[in-house]
Amino acid sequence: MRNVLPSLVLLSSLAVACTQKEAPVAAPSGEQAGFAERYPARLNGTRQHFASDETQTRTALAEFKGYPDALKIPNFAEVGNVVARADSSGRSSAYSEASLESETVSRFFEEEKDGLRQKVGGAVSYASTQKKCPEDLGGAAVGAMERGVDKQLEERLRAHSEAHRYIEDHQEELGKANVETLDKQADKIAHASNVAYVRLELYRREVEALLSDASSVRSTLDRTIQESDATLNDAAAPKIKKATAQRHKAAAQAARTALDAEVEQDQRGLEEMRQRITALQNDYKTALDALLSDIKVRAEKK
């Protein structure tokens, strides 16, 4: 899953989202054996991320209606300005790039957390033992590292949202007691906006780009299996070379077995992705309009 987001295709799609088709900067990867072996998993992973982000965003939309009641006597006119800025920030290229970067780091830590915990915790434990500390500090160091990374990612993403800048500049009008709540609400609105209008489309383009490599990937996997067989059948080949060939063959065969089903599923799903994106955008707009309307009514009562 670690190769799914963000891929170079996703990032390049973001950069040229509003331009006409141009020649690719990077060469296709379908003829590379390593890429071909990971290809089915990457198709599957992109599809899963699409569905996961879609589901999480729908959950967030259902929470919008409760946002005004979570605030303590704010200036609702200013709250409306926060919401509008969170919405527009989520659709911006700056926020989208930062969001992709943050998610990449977050997923890296999630997927590699066991190894990182062992390395960081082991190093700190060793150092504390060497310095004859009365307690093993390894566990505490790991926890501090994880909390620090999460907090830094949050702050980094917020720096790309105009909503948080507005909250900072208007704390008195919004009510200092509401700042933390508004920060969290703005996070969720910006993220939902980004998923509905940017992220899901990037996933769809990623799948579309990957499918263009399907034929060359199929040929590469078949070639890898044939080359591996040739090495395995060569009586003069060194033992270590045969072991490597066996490993490559197994990986290529596993990918080849999964390939056709994954490609067929994504080919069928491309148009459905378009429809689901449109549906989520419509539902997002409905939820946001309802929230802004509620905030406007409350502002007019003041």
Average pLDDT value for residue range 121-138: 56
Predicted TM-score (pTM) of this structure: 0.81
Q: Is 145 a residue whose pLDDT tops 60?
A: no
Q: Is 109 a residue whose pLDDT tops 80?
A: no
Q: Which of 195, 179, 186, 168 is nearest to 91 (CA)?
A: 195
- pLDDT tens for residues 224-268? 999 999 999 999 999 999 999 999 999 999 999 999 999 999 999
Which pLDDT belongs to residue 36?
97
Predicted confidence band of residue 296 (pLDDT cuts 50, 70, 90): very high
Lowest mean pLDDT among 131-135, 208-212, 278-282: 131-135
Which pLDDT belongs to residue 235?
94
DSSP letter (8 states) at residue 19: S
| DSSP codes, 218-285 | HHHHHHHHHHHHHHHT-TTS-HHHHHHHHHHHHHHHHHHHHHHHHHHHHHHHHHHHHHHHHHHHHHHH
Query: HSE-up of 265 (CA within 13 Å, CB side)?
Result: 13
What SS3 class is residue 67? coil
Q: Is 115 a residue whose pLDDT tops 70?
A: no
Residue 227 corresponds to which tokens in the numbers above?
């080359």
Q: Is 199 a residue whose pLDDT tops 90?
A: yes
Average pLDDT value for residue range 54-67: 98
Opening angle at CA 13, ends 51 and 278, nearest 5:
45
Q: How far is CA 259 from CA 6, 42, 202, 217, 246, in A?
A: 22, 11, 22, 9, 20
Q: Is 124 a residue whose pLDDT tops 80?
A: no
Sorted by sequence, the CB contacts under 8 Å of residue 43 that are 6+ apart come out as 207, 210, 211, 262, 263, 265, 266
Most confident of 107-116, 144-153, 290-299: 290-299
Q: Is 285 a residue whose pLDDT tops 90?
A: yes
Predicted confidence band of residue 153 (pLDDT cuts 50, 70, 90): confident
Mean pLDDT across the chain: 86
Which pLDDT belongs to residue 176?
94
Q: CA–CA separation, 140 vs 201, rounded Å?
A: 41
Q: CA–CA separation, 119 vs 116, rounded Å?
A: 5
What SS3 class is residue 2? coil
pLDDT higher at 132 or 173? 173
pLDDT higher at 95 or 110? 95
Residue 259 corresponds to which tokens in the numbers above?
């390939």
Q: Is 221 a residue whose pLDDT tops 80?
A: yes
Q: CA–CA separation, 258 vs 246, rounded Å?
A: 19
Which pLDDT belongs to residue 8?
40
Which pLDDT belongs to residue 220?
97
Q: CA–CA separation, 48 vs 54, rounded Å?
A: 10
Other CB atoms closer than 10 Å to residue 48's CB: what's the count?
Answer: 13
